[in-house]
A and B are shown apart, each in its own frame.
Chain A
Amino acid sequence: MDTSPERSEATPDARARATAGGERPAVLQARGLVKRYGQVTALNGTDFDLHAGEILAVIGDNGAGKSTLIKALSGALIPDEGEIRLDGRVVHFRSPMDARRAGIETVYQDLAVAPAMSIAENLYLGRELRRAGVLGRVFRLLDHRRMREGAEQHLRELQIGVRSMTQAVETLSGGQRQGVAVARSAAFARHVVIMDEPTAALGVKEGGMVLALIRRVRDRGLPVVLISHNMPHVFEVADRIHVARLGRRVAVLDPREVSMSDAVAVMTGAVEVEGARR
């Protein structure tokens, strides 16, 4: 990724733009993103704004470009045109790892955990803690105890009730598994957590549990991007709703001001909303 010193001139500008409307500063922004696959244009110049301390839902019909947008923001693909700014600084993610290093963590729908491995191992997978001293540095031995304690703390902070960090993730309920994935993201994200359909595979009660979890992540200071097909869930937790359609952002809605059917109408193109556009 690019860590060039564009920050100095970009930041005041970005802050000014964001605060002009009396809003919180933008954490993650995109302008004019384009992504084409041969004849198909998945992103057709879409914009994106995520503000500090909010849950921003991204909704859109199939093919609206929301998953392409999320992939671009999380480094899973490289857009053909446009720019992405993190804290006002232009970034170029070449891989999901770049985005993670920059502080953006993503929770993927079904692919989040290694079922036979323990909760602690899952939490620290790819970021294992090694023992202090020669054992860690030379022999590269892992510090299982420190990872267990760390995992316990992270899960406790998010009030995810599981008994033992050495339990295999497959022994947990669907909601708890998603909780582990969310806790991992929240533990390591410095700027943004992106969640792709986190409640899709869950029942009513478990879905509600994950929604509460998403709020807790936000309340701890991390802005959340929530991709969901589930309108009641979106309206329950979102602070703002980004509506994607035909590869663009057609509206940003306030869930307190519009109804679910309005949102669906905008999403499907039944209603054109110029006023809602920001």
Chain B
Amino acid sequence: MATAVPSAPAPNPPARLTLRERLPSIGTLGPFVALLLACAFFATRHERFLTGENFALVLQQVMVVGVIAIGQTLVILTAGIDLSCGMVMALGGVVMARLATSMGIPAPAAIAAGIGVTTLFGAVNGLLVTRIRLPPFIVTLGTLNIAFAATQLYSDAQTITEVPPVMVALGNTFPVAGTRVVYGVVLMLVLYLLAAVILRQTAAGRHVYAVGNNPEATRLLGIDTSRVLLAVYTLAGALYGVAALLSVARTGVGDPNAGQTENLDAITAVVLGGTSLFGGRGLLLGSLVGALIVGVFRNGLTLMGVSSVYQVLVTGVLVILAVATDQLSRREGR
């Protein structure tokens, strides 16, 4: 029976794994090493880099991208991609800000409505991918533009100011060992832990990996792959809504032009974090590290007085390096 516990010892006990096989692969450790190296490098370049205050700033700058990257990781693990993430987040932010200001709706309801809109966009992505079987790249390229247009139309391309205090509460700080840390950072870390546990410790989480690994085999094993995909895209949409709230909290406004750098930064973070664009492999916490790598480079280069154009250039080089590593390690694994 499937659940029986082995009673007799194995006649020929299988050999244990060698130390080298037990060590996590380069794909898993690489991002952590890269982050440490980047930190070490910038620490030698600028004395202010290695301060608690500066790290708190990096975390605060990373929290929006970080939360988007959770959703993006889920999607990429299924061998999909969500190009609409940043634009959907911008729409969510504008919706919640506008509802709370000019419409006079209570802030909690406005926040819920904003997250509802982004969740809906996620569900639409998921439905188009599963029901009509369109490639995720094309679907989300479409919803990217739709979300962008909707954001501009709904906000009249105007920044929405004077949002109620409840909506920016996550932008408030609390002291940790003398450094002011933003509440939103805590929310981001909690979401990462929660999502990591779900991915690793529940059947639903393992099915996300299985769909990315081998959708046909997964379907034949009786797992409803369409349901897994739909859930992933919808959940990603909901996470973009949370990111929208963090964005509003961080900037204090509903910005129709938000999300434009976050859009690709989130994908960059996931790829830098070691998640394969081919699906089925990667660690969620890697995406947090990936987001931190992008954040540390931005922060460090800014401290060094390097122009922002070069920061974009460095990000581009990092992404190509990360994808190349992924490709090469896959080839070796075959």
Q: A residues within 8 Å of B by Cβ?
A: 76, 95-97, 100, 106, 108, 111-117, 121, 125-130, 140-142, 146, 149-150, 152-153, 156, 161-164, 167-168, 170-171, 187-188
Find chain A residues with CB under 8 A from B333 CB.
Answer: 168, 170-171
Task: Tell me if B298 counts as interface (CB < 8 A to partner A).
Answer: no
Most buried by A among B15, B202, B206, B221: B221
Find chain A residues with CB under 8 A from B223 CB.
Answer: 125-126
CB-based contact A114/B5 at 8 Å = no
User: Interface SS of chain B: helix, strand, loop or mixed?
Assistant: loop
Shortest C-beta distance, B293 to chain A (Å), equals 23
Complex CA distance for A188 and B221, rounded to whole angstroms: 11
Complex CA distance for A244 and B217, rounded to whole angstroms: 26
CB-based contact A97/B15 at 8 Å = no
Q: B residues within 8 Å of A by Cβ?
A: 2-6, 10, 12, 14-17, 21, 201-204, 206-207, 209-210, 213-214, 216-218, 220-223, 280-281, 333-334
Complex CA distance for A76 and B3, rounded to whole angstroms: 27
CB-based contact A152/B217 at 8 Å = no
Partner of A152 from B2, B6, B204 at Cβ < 8 Å:
B6
Complex CA distance for A95 and B281, rounded to whole angstroms: 29
CB-based contact B201/A125 at 8 Å = no
Find chain B residues with CB under 8 A from A106 CB.
Answer: 220
Find chain A residues with CB under 8 A from B209 CB.
Answer: 114, 116-117
Shortest C-beta distance, A202 to chain B (Å), equals 16
Partner of B16 from A141, A142, A164 at Cβ < 8 Å:
A164
Apart from A114-B210, A114-B217, A170-B334, 17 more pairs, CB < 8 Å: A111-B214, A114-B209, A115-B280, A117-B213, A121-B206, A125-B207, A126-B223, A140-B204, A141-B201, A153-B6, A162-B14, A164-B14, A164-B16, A170-B333, A171-B333, A187-B2, A188-B2
Closest 3 CB pairs of A and B: A114-B213, A126-B221, A128-B203
CB-based contact B4/A153 at 8 Å = yes
Shortest C-beta distance, B265 to chain A (Å), equals 26
Closest chain B residue to A127, Cβ basis? B2
Shortest C-beta distance, B309 to chain A (Å), equals 38
CB-based contact B222/A96 at 8 Å = yes
A141-B202 contact given A112-B217, A113-B217, A126-B222, CB 8 Å threshold: yes
A-B contacts, 14 listed (Cβ < 8 Å): A96-B222, A111-B220, A114-B213, A116-B209, A117-B213, A117-B280, A125-B218, A126-B222, A140-B203, A142-B202, A149-B6, A152-B10, A156-B10, A168-B333
CB-based contact A116/B213 at 8 Å = yes
Find chain A residues with CB under 8 A from B214 CB.
Answer: 111, 113-115
Closest chain B residue to A166, Cβ basis? B17
Find chain B residues with CB under 8 A from A171 CB.
Answer: 333
Partner of A150 from B4, B202, B280 at Cβ < 8 Å:
B4
Shortest C-beta distance, A216 to chain B (Å), equals 14
A150-B3 contact given A125-B218, A126-B221, A162-B14, CB 8 Å threshold: yes
Find chain B residues with CB under 8 A from A127 CB.
Answer: 2
Closest chain B residue to A188, Cβ basis? B2
A150-B2 contact given A96-B220, A167-B17, CB 8 Å threshold: yes
